[in-house]
A = this chain, B = another copy of it.
Amino acid sequence: MAETMNAPTRATLERWRARMHDELHKSVIPFWMRHSLDREFGGYFNCLDRDGRRFDTKKHVWLQGRQVWMLSKLFNADRSSADLLEAATLGAKFLREHARRPDDQVYFCLARDGKPLTLQRKMYAACFYVMAFAEYARATGDASYRALALSQFDAILRWVDDPTPLGKPKLAGNVATSELAVPMILLNLVAELRGAPGSPTFHDRSDYDAIEQRCVAAIRRHHRPERGLVFETISADGKLLDSPEGRLINPGHVIECGWFLLDYARRTNDSKLRDEALAMIRGALDFGWDREFGGILYFLDSEGFSPQQLEWPMKLWWPHCEAIVALLMAWRDTSDASWFARFEQVADWTFAHFPDAEHGEWYGYLDRRGAVSQRFKGGPYKGCFHVPRALWLCERELAAALAAH
C-alpha cells in the first residue's frame, strides 16, 4: 500500500477494543465455561460441535494445557473471577494426575477418565503442560505446580539437545534439520515462565537469558530477508533444503513467531530484532494472503509447487488470530499507520468469517472461499486458546494505545 495512511482515530481504537472485549467475554469464554467442564472426571471436553454438543469425550493434552493456561491468565488479569479459577483448577488437577509419565513424556491424548490413549514422539504436549502450570502456579500461589513446570521444562531442554528419549528412530538417510517450531515454542515458554513484568512470579533461573538468545539466533537462521520468507525446516547447518519439507511456508506460524520476537524485542529494547520481526510478519502476510478470496492460506511451497498438505488452501482460525495480534503490535511498535490498515484488513476478514454469533466461539476451519468446512468449535487441535489469547492480547494492545493517545 503506497498511499500515506492516516493514524487511526480514538473512536476507531475504542470500537476495536470494545469488539475484542465483547467477543472474548460474551461469546468465547462463555462457550467454554458452559460446555467444556467435565465435573465428573475433571479436565475439559475439547471436542465440541457448533452448539457445544460433545462429539467425542477424548481429552487432547495440548488443549487441556492451553485451557488451563488461558483461564489462569484471564483470572490473573484482575483476580476477580472465582469461576475462572475453579475451572482452571479442574484442568490443572486432571493434567497433574494423568498427563505425565515417570520418564517425563507427556501423553498426546487421554480418555475421558484420564487413561492414556496416544503418545506422540514429539515434545509439544509437554510444552503446553509447562505453560499451563506456570500460569496456574501464579494464579494459586501453589509452588508445587511451579516445580512441575520447571522440571518438565528441564526435560524439554534435554530433548532439544537429544530427542532419542522421545522414541523416534534415527534412520540412515535422515539429515539433521532445524525446525522453526522448536526455538519458537521455547522462546514463548521462557516468556511464560518469566511471567508478565511485575507479576508475582519467580525469576529464579539464571539461564533464561541464554536460552532466549539461543532461540532468537536459531529462529533468525530460518529467515531469508532477501526473499521475504521464513522456512519451516532448514538443514542443521542453516541451508535451505530442496524438498517439500524444505520449501514449506506456513504463513500463520511465521506471523505468530513474528510477534513472539516483537515481544522479546520490546523487553530487550532491541530495535534491530524488532525490524527483522516486522520484515518476517510483512513477508509472511504478503506471501500468504489470498488475493483471490481473502484470508491467509494455510501452507505454501516457496517455489510454487503444490504443497503436499491437502488442506493447504484452507483458511484456519489460528493464523488469523495470530495475525491480528502481530499487526497491532507492529503498529504500536512503529506508529506506522500502514500497519494499522493491515490490521483492519485482516481483522475485517476474520470477524466477517470466523465468529458464530448464534452459538458463540469461532469456527476453526473454512474452505478457500471462506465457507465453513468443519462446523465444530473444538477438536483435536482447536480449543480454548488461539481465539481468546488473540482477543485478550489485542484488547491489551488497544488499551495501551488508548492510554497513550
Contact = CB atoms under 8 A, between A and B. Distances in A.
A85 B302 CA distance: 38
A116 B306 CA distance: 25
Interface stretch (A224-232, A265-273, A346-354, A367-375): A367-375
Interface in A99-117: 107, 110-111, 113, 115-117
Interface string A361-379: 0000101100001111001
A154 interface: no
A47 B119 CA distance: 30
**How big is chain A's contact interface, by range?**
35 or more
A329 to B, nearest CB: 29
B376 A310 contact: no
Which of A56, A111, A313 has the most B CB atoms < 10 Å from its CB? Answer: A56
A171 B365 contact: no
Contacts of A116: 171-173
Contacts of A49: 305-306
Contact of A169 (B56, B119, B171, B173): B119
Nearest to A314: B310
A361 B371 CA distance: 31
B373 A310 contact: yes
A58 interface: yes
B375 A174 contact: no
A301 B313 CA distance: 23
Nearest to A380: B308
A55 interface: yes
Given A243-B58, A244-B55, A173 B117 contact: yes
A208 B314 CA distance: 46
A353 to B, nearest CB: 16
Nearest to A247: B55
Nearest to A58: B243
A308 B117 contact: no
A115 B172 CA distance: 6
A164 interface: no
A236 to B, nearest CB: 16
A241 to B, nearest CB: 10
A365 B115 contact: no
B171 A115 contact: yes
10 contacts: A55-B244, A55-B301, A56-B243, A115-B172, A116-B171, A119-B169, A306-B374, A306-B376, A308-B379, A312-B374
